[in-house]
Amino acid sequence: MEYVQGGALSDYIANQSTDWAAAINLIIPVAEALAYAHGQGVIHRDVKPSNILLPQQDWPLLADFGLVKLPSAEKAVTRSGTSMGTPAYVAPEQARGAVIDHRADMYSLGVILFEMLTGRLPFNYSNPNKVLLAHISEPIPFPRHFNPECPTSLEQIIVTMMQKSPDDRYKDIGEVIVALRGVMASSQERPAFHTPAQPAPEARERLQTVEFVHDPKQSSPQPPQPLSPPPPAGTAPLPPTPLSPSSVEPQLEAQILLTDKNATLQVPDQDSAIIGRTHRDTFADLDLGPYGAAKLGISRHHARLTRQDNQWLLEDLGSLNGTFVNDVQVKSGSPVLLNNGDVIRCSHMSFVFLVSPRAK
């Protein structure tokens, strides 16, 4: 496995509360990882901060599937010498030794979110057996009692995730993700590491220097047509009517502007260009490796730019952490049309796509 140098979420949140927006932004990728695992019939059973690794503070990796349970199997696929979960984060049904499903992981994720917002566990006893009993029988404390800045809607999500009965929780992690995104969408605040929907100031200054903006709806220029009937026989023909400059579509060149790196990369003058990072025998036309691509989760062949009829399309190449245009995910195999000034995000690296007339 790849070594993760950044530590774990347990180090990041030790004895301190986290801004609620930043907490949501970090928990959603973990929830998405659990949703994928549950979709494959896998239950983690030991979701806790020390099992969430952080290559970057806003980039979590769900790890340690040592207690994994396959619902279709007769018994759990459990590593020898391990216990059934961690008392501080275990679901009530798991604490009782009852049959569990994916909603046990949901409960544990709710405990983590509670801890991130309040800087403490919901049931903070030194005796593990007392902690297990509290999960089974004690009322859920309200996060706003410890952190009044927690939005009421977020508190309700946590309380729903931590209901004693699995039937009283959300149906699945997908519903949790939708609810968390709803809290973010309804607020004016954004976490410090939220990808901007508009170009950064440096990009806006750069955009002001681009005089030509290609209109994808513009049709290809048509051959010139005679403006008058042909001259009578024996007379000199009129010279052809020259095309006006506005009727000739200029060739465009493309660049990507890494606003936070103060760097601009020229897209090669070819019909296809790979975005990624060059490594040994793997070559990327737009190599983001020198700008920290590996630490930011960019795949070696992450995405592809394709030129068609003086327009540029972007498609994801099955990358591990996704490709986005203006915060909308680009599906693998479904290229999207790019416009001047679009913000592209590959994993956790963002840059601005720019087009301008090619210099003669």
Q: Are 43 and 101 in contact (CB under 8 A)?
A: yes
- Between CA 360 and CA 355 the distance in angstroms is 15
Cα separation of the two ends of the chain: 50
Taking every pair of Cα atoms in the chain, the longest distance, rounded to a whole number of angstroms, is: 111
> Which one is catalytic: 11, 46, 101, 215?
46
- Between CA 40 and CA 37 the distance in angstroms is 5
Burial 48-87 (b: 16+ CB within 10 A, else e): bbebbbbbeeebbbbebbebbbeeeeeebeeeeeeebbbb
Q: Are 270 and 305 in contact (CB under 8 A)?
A: no
Q: Which amino acid is at 66?
A: G
From its phi and psi, is residue 335 left (phi > 0), alpha (psi between -120 and 50) or beta?
beta
Phi–psi pair at 167, nearest 5 degrees:
-70, -20
User: Do you know the residue count of the chain?
Assistant: 360
Q: Is residue 46 among the annotated active site residues?
A: yes
H helices present in the chain, as ranges: 9-12, 20-39, 92-95, 102-118, 128-137, 152-161, 173-185, 201-208
What positions carry a catalytic annotation? 46
